[in-house]
Structure 1
Amino acid sequence: MRTSPIATAVVALGVLAAPAQAAPGWAGKPPRTSCQEPKLIDGGVPYPREYLTRILKCLDKAWSARFAKAGHRFTAPRVAFYEGPQRTVCGIPWPEGAAAFYCTNRRTLVLPLTGEWIEDRTDLYPMKVAAHEYGHHLQSLTGIRAAYDRRPTAAKAKRYELQADCLAGAFLSSVWPSLRRPATDWRKLVESVRRSGDDDAQGTHGSGANRVYWLTRGYTAGSCDTWSAPAAKVS
């Protein structure tokens, strides 16, 4: 049986093949990476652009090494900072209720410098959100997004989003020793992620419990194949 170009690309990265009706999965953390996290607030003054710029460099470093190990080409995403929501972005209306997000059509991370997700915070939530959106870029690079787009459904949308949570967990695991944060900060992040869940049938990102499950799975095992996971784990 012939292997599709998409499957070949993802298998080269250690990505697990999934059932034909789904899209490819993902396995493997990036290598241990040093990330010197700057202060988001210093002396009462916020520095969101400086903070995010540093975190994005850490993400580039970690994931480019993972791709290089697999012998696969890596390109960093474009980045667009905004002071707040705009009428349009990436040629489309600004998504309603969105904080940070990824423009698939332009492979661009859109990072607002204001909003609940980043203002007045000293926890890990801004780093996790940036890592989640970066995960969508990885899905585009490996062909996972293209496979999803062939037959998108509401159920697959949750698998897609939960995989990005898992990839965020894998990144956080790779940089955790260098962050010099106490274990309580991880527990606080877990609770923030739990509260960000969609605990109704109309949501697109998964329940709070499942968002925590995949974040933690990425952190502990780096195994992010949401596409073949049981429905109960991706609801």
Structure 2
Amino acid sequence: MRSLPPGAGSPRSLRRLAAFTRRALPVALCLAVLPSGVAQAASPKSSLLKTGRLAATSCPEPPIIDLGIPRTREYLAAAMKCLNTSWSAHFARAGLKFRKPTVAFYEEPVERVCGIPWPVYVAAFYCTERATLVFPLTGDWIENRTDLYPLKTAAHEYGHHLQSLTGIRDRYEARVRSDHAHQAELGRRYELQADCLSGVFLGSVRRSSSRTEQDWKSLSDTLRASGDDRDHRAHGTGANRVRWFNRGYRAVSPAACDTWTATPSQVS
């Protein structure tokens, strides 16, 4: 889901789940189509892309449901601990300044969050102004799930935090403000980069995971189903979401995540 500044909102599954990962996104960041050559001009390049491989990390997943009792908060807290450990060490090795995000858990959506109305029909999201990851503990994105999708979603939102820490978001937002004609494709480049960064993290913890090959295939199927539809072009097609996630997953390096110089078809 999108990082969220002041502004918000839109709809949800594999029907609603697909909508969870693509809709309801901020006016300032959500945003129509780059011809060839514009991508390079937009290019919020970053030192993050030059930091090498993410070290392998042990990150066993606790159960989301234990003896019929939801453990979503415990699951996400464990995921955040792994993400903080992995990326803070990576930043330290690269000589980059790191700051943990704030994390806010909600049993269910509330009227206002991060100083704005709760965005309609979103799963997790990142409040850029407060560097806060917001996780509702209910909803199709996490409730009663046993697959890898919640971990991937947490890693995607964390990717937006990494974009903020390394100046990618600032340069992206400046470009969005100055280039109204090309906002939607810029937004997809931003989102697909977060998909790729989530793949980098999941690739780095793959060896410590007890997941089967079928679990990883199911994640690809879920990502493919969460692609944009005709009316909401915010995160990219299902095929491109899978492609960028897999680029990060296989390379285990942010260098694989340069969506800014990709061809328009690769970020459609």
Aligned length: 218
Q: Please give the secondary structure, in 2, of the residue aligned with 1:151.
A: helix
Amino acid at match of 1:86: V
Aligned-residue CA RMSD in angstroms? 1.3
Q: Give the corresponding residue for 1:78.
A: 102
Q: Give the corresponding residue for 1:15.
A: none
Amino acid at match of 2:196: C
8 Å contact 2:42–2:172 — kept in the other structure?
A: no
8 Å contact 2:131–2:161 — kept in the other structure?
A: yes
Identity of aligned residues (%): 58
Distance 2:53 2:87 in 1: 9
Question: 2:130 matched to 1:109?
Answer: no
8 Å contact 2:92–2:98 — kept in the other structure?
A: yes
1:23-102 equivalences in 2 (<5 Å):
23-24=44-45, 26=49, 28-102=52-126
Question: 2:240 matched to 1:207?
Answer: no
Q: Please give the secondary structure, in 1, of the residue aligned with 2:134.
A: strand
Shift of 1:203: 2.0
8 Å contact 1:29–1:171 — kept in the other structure?
A: no
Distance change >3 Å, CA 171–CA 93, structure 1 → 2: same
Shift of 1:201: 5.2
Distance 1:106 1:233 in 2: 31
Distance change >3 Å, CA 29–CA 165, structure 1 → 2: farther
1:140-155 equivalences in 2 (<5 Å):
140-152=164-176, 153-155=183-185
Amino acid at match of 2:246: T
The one-character-per-residue Cα deviations of 1:160-185 (angstroms, maximum 9, x if unpaired) are 00000000000000001111111111
Shift of 1:83: 1.0
8 Å contact 1:29–1:218 — kept in the other structure?
A: no
Shift of 1:37: 1.2
Q: Please give the secondary structure, in 1, of the residue aligned with 2:150.
A: helix
Q: Give the corresponding residue for 1:167.
A: 197
TM-score (normalizing by structure 2) = 0.79
Shift of 1:84: 1.4
Distance 2:186 2:112 in 1: 26
Amino acid at match of 1:160: Y
8 Å contact 2:57–2:86 — kept in the other structure?
A: yes
1:17-28 equivalences in 2 (<5 Å):
19-24=40-45, 26=49, 28=52
Distance 2:231 2:264 in 1: 13
Shift of 1:36: 2.0
Amino acid at match of 1:136: H
Q: Please give the secondary structure, in 2, of the residue aligned with 1:81.
A: strand
Unaligned runs of 5+ in 1: 1-17
